[in-house]
Amino acid sequence: MDILTRTAAKLANGRIEEPRALNRIARVTVVVPCYNYGRYLRQCVESVTLNQPGVDVEVIIVDDRSTDDSAYMARSIQDADKRVHLIAHKQNKGHIATYNDGLEAATGEFVLLLSADDLVTPGALTRAAEFLAAEPSVGLVYGNAIHFHGELPESRIAGGSWIVWPGVDWLRIRCRSGFNTITSPEAVMRTAVLREIGNYRADLPHAGDFEMWLRTSAVSDIGFLAGVDQAYYRHHATNMNKQDFGSGTALGQLIDLKQRWQSFEAVFSGVGSGLEEGPQLLELARSTIARQVLERINYAHAKGWRDFPTTEFEALAREIHHSPASTRAGKVLAKRRHDGTGRLPAHALWPAWAVRWRLEEWCRRWRRGQIGV
């Protein structure tokens, strides 16, 4: 067990455990949502049906009315392997409905949602099943995901250790950082916990995974497989199911920040409403996301980006925080924006309804391709 693992666990109040082998056969369902990824599908499925000793694998491919050969490939794989089942949508439903259709059909004790263009590493399902079987309090276990282009790089599949965080501690870390640390293909859930908290939310299409992990930590402990690699996350020109939504653009950042905040709101008004620390954690998340919104504006000002949608970002900061101008980032922004007369620009004083209308109109125009950022 390396010093980095021990240090990470100590800093995050995690408990370190030594891996223990399965003493029974565990059933793991792998849901594979697919839209126009026929060229990747066979490799994806083989990564979960081969080199996963000690687990009984069920694969559910959900084809969302692909226009390529995905459905044909899925049927071919299904015909050759009785562990594989196909759900073929008669019409395109979008990624959230596709995820949920597959998850609802899962019969395994544990479940993994694996995009058709991603893969798991050899033994990944075995390691996750061993962890979840040995630690009944853990509802989600994840590890490292290797990001790659082209050929698969080597992966670490031997050794490693376990870290178990009390769910509220893991949730507190997320409230403090505001970021999602799990890409998705490396995350295996206990199906009973999934049934308890419910499926993906249709109203949070851009932060669905993040909100799911937050919900899970509100009702169960969280596990991490340290020192090994659990999955491959593929980068390519058509990452359609990854739902990146232009995160490198100002609009993408705005959507990302807004939906991360909405994820915290949803969790603490739902399954996390009974947590003793719930109100304090929500306020921590509020401060974190509001600060990140204002920091984006400050960064844009420092870079001299004149086309940056400052008004829309300020509106989001006011929506999240009761007094964003009183925060450190807000004071920095005010200093940068000061016009020399003691007043801030007029639009900084617009009523919330006017700013919201402008933001919604801006988003509508962006979707129609009339503007770009």
What pLDDT digit, counting tens, does each position of 90-105 carry? 999 999 999 999 999 9
Predicted local distance difference test score (pLDDT) of residue 227: 96
pLDDT at position 341 over 70: no
pLDDT at position 356 over 90: no
pLDDT at position 63 over 70: yes
pLDDT at position 367 over 90: no
**Residue whose entry in the numeric block shows the structure tokens 């870079």:** 303
Give the mean pLDDT of the chain.
88
Q: How far apart are CA 126 and CA 132, in angstroms?
A: 10
pLDDT at position 349 over 60: no
pLDDT tens-digit readout, 246-255:
446 888 999 9
Instruction: Over range 278-290, report the average pLDDT.
Output: 97
pLDDT at position 271 over 80: yes
Instruction: Over range 193-198, report the average pLDDT.
Output: 98
Residue 344 to residues 62, 293, 331: CA-CA distances in angstroms? 53, 18, 12
- Lowest mean per-residue pLDDT among 70-84, 228-242, 297-311: 228-242
Query: Is residue 278 within 8 Å of residue 239, measured between CB atoms?
Result: no
Residue with more model confidence, 370 or 76: 76
**Residue whose entry in the numeric block shows the structure tokens 């995820």:** 99
CA Rg, the chain, in Å?
22
Residue 2 to residues 16, 44, 247: CA-CA distances in angstroms? 11, 31, 34
Residue 57 to residues 109, 164, 184, 226: CA-CA distances in angstroms? 10, 25, 18, 23
pLDDT tens-digit readout, 213-226:
999 999 999 999 99
Instruction: Tokens for 346, please give them.
Output: 């007029």
CB atoms under 10 Å from CB of 258, counted, come to: 21
pLDDT at position 343 over 50: no
Predicted local distance difference test score (pLDDT) of residue 353: 42
CA atoms within 13 A on the CB side of 95: 19
Determine how β-strand 15-17 pairs with β-strand 161-165: antiparallel
Instruction: Over range 286-313, report the average pLDDT.
Output: 92
